Amino acid sequence: MLYWLMKSEPDEFSIDDLARAPKKGAPWFGVRNYQARNFMRDSMQPGDGVLFYHSSCEVPGIAGIAEVSKPAYPDATQFDRKSKYFDPKASRDKPRWFNVDVRLVKKTRLLPLSEMRGYPRLAKMQLLQRGNRLSITPVDPAEWEFIMDILQGRM
């Protein structure tokens, strides 16, 4: 099992939107970065843990826990001419973009980025590295466990 941090702007898709999704699951669509796409396409598997992260908002941070519920498949928005995620270079024969489905495990208290920066044990976390802008990043198992301890009040 692997662990991931997946960023979403709450105005676009929030932890509450995921909680309202049918069967508490939804496609993680619209990713248009090759490295993030490759994580979904090549590495993510059902059961992998996900830190659901609210970004580009007043207080960015981890808003809940999710898990990958369906392996990668072509992102339908790349074919939709009306979608802001439409890609004219993509075809159904050769899709360029993929998504996985995620389902809510638990909504948590918000763990703000500013608080995360205060924990030396998270200093090497990819999210906290200077210049990191990826919407999906791997999370080390030790970082995952430490964050779980924080969110469950054991820290």
Rounding to the nearest 10 degrees, give the CA dihedral for residues 99, 43, 55, 52.
90
Nearest-CA neighbor of 122 among 137, 135, 133, 134?
Answer: 137
Q: Is the pLDDT of residue 154 over 80?
A: no
> What does the pLDDT read at residue 132?
84
> What does the pLDDT read at residue 16?
96
Domain ranges of the chain: 3-151
Summarised one tens digit per residue, pLDDT across range 9-42 is 999 999 999 999 978 789 999 999 999 999 999 9
> What does the pLDDT read at residue 72?
97
How many CA atoms lie within 13 Å of 60's alpha carbon, on the beta-carbon side? 16
28 phi/psi in degrees, rounded to 5:
-95, 80
Q: How many CB atoms lie within 10 A of CB 3?
A: 20
DSSP 23-61: GGEEE------HHHHHIIIII--TT-EEEEEE-SSSS-E
Summarised one tens digit per residue, pLDDT across range 104-129 is 999 999 999 999 999 999 999 999 99
DSSP 8-class letter at 116: H
Percentage of residues in the chain having pLDDT higher than 90: 92
77: helix, coil or strand?
Answer: helix
> What does the pLDDT read at residue 146?
97
> What does the pLDDT read at residue 136?
97
> What does the pLDDT read at residue 23?
80
The reported pTM is 0.95
Q: Is the pLDDT of residue 152 over 80?
A: yes
| Level-2 CATH architecture, domain 3-151 | Roll (3.10)
Percentage of residues in the chain having pLDDT higher than 70: 99
